[in-house]
Amino acid sequence: MQSDDAMKQLTREEFPFPISHAYTYLESRVDPDDRYAALMACFEVTLKTIASIALANFMRDIQEDPKLGNAHLFQDLLDVLSRPLSLGHWHSLLRLTLRPNAAHREQLVVPELFDFYYRVTEHGNVKSQKQNVQTIQRFIQERNEEAHHRNRSQTSTFQRQVDLYEFPYDWRRPIDQNGDLLHECVERWAGGDSDRQFTLVGHSMGGVVARAYLARHTAAADKRIKRLIMHGTPHFGVAGGIVDIALGNRNMDIIAKLHQENAPRRLMYNMPSIYQLLPAPPALFPSSWPYPANWDLYDATAWRLEGVRQDYLDAGRQFHELLASADPQVEVIEIAGCHIDTVVEVQRSFGPDERPRYDIVREDEGPGAGDGTIPLWSAELPGATVYYIQQVHRYLPKNKDVIDATLDLIHGGTPDLPTGLPPREAGLLGWLFDRDLEAPPEVEAEKLRQQIETGTAGEAELSQLYFGPM
- What are 352-403's pLDDT values in tens digits? 999 999 999 999 889 989 999 999 999 999 999 999 999 989 889 988 899 9
The predicted structure's pLDDT at residue 379: 97
Separation of alpha carbons 361 and 348, rounded Å: 11
Q: Could you tell me how many residues make up the chain?
A: 470
What is the amino acid identity at position 259? H
Decide if 7 contacts 31 (C-beta within 8 A). no
Q: Is the peptide bond before 279 cis (omega within 30 degrees of 0)?
A: no
| pLDDT for residue 25 | 45
What does pLDDT average to in each consecutive run of 10 residues of the chain (470 residues)? Answer: 46 43 47 55 55 53 50 48 52 62 65 71 81 64 56 52 84 94 95 93 97 97 96 97 92 87 90 96 96 98 96 98 95 96 95 93 91 96 96 88 93 93 67 49 81 78 70
Q: Are 98 and 118 in contact (CB under 8 A)?
A: yes
Q: Which helix (H) or strand (E) covers residue 285, if one does?
A: none
pLDDT of residue 1: 36
Burial class (CB in 10 A: 0-12, 13-18, 19+), 243: middle
- Give how far the C-alpha of residue 203 lies from the chain's centroid of Cα atoms, to the nearest Å: 12
- Asked if 456 and 87 touch (Cβ cutoff 8 Å), the reply is no
**How many CB atoms within 10 Å of residue 361?**
14
Q: Which residues of 393-418 are buried (b: 16+ CB within 10 A; e: fewer)?
A: bbbbbebeebbbbbbebbeeeebebe
**Which pLDDT value is given to residue 39?**
53
- Classified as helix, coil or strand, 432 is helix
CB contact set of 339 (below 8 Å; sequence gap of 6+): 364, 365, 366, 369, 390, 424, 425, 430, 434
Q: What pLDDT does residue 156 have? A: 52
Q: What is the pLDDT of residue 450?
A: 84
Domain boundaries, the chain: 4-158, 165-465
CA distance 149 to 222: 40
Q: Give pLDDT, residue 32.
A: 53
From the CA atom positions of the chain, what is the Rg in Å?
25
Distance CA(107)–CA(101), nearest Å, equals: 8
* Structural domain 165-465, CATH architecture: 3-Layer(aba) Sandwich (3.40)
- For the chain, the distance separating the N- and C-terminal CA atoms, rounded to the nearest angstrom, is 41
Express each pLDDT in 79-110 by its tens digit: 544 444 455 555 655 665 666 767 776 665 55
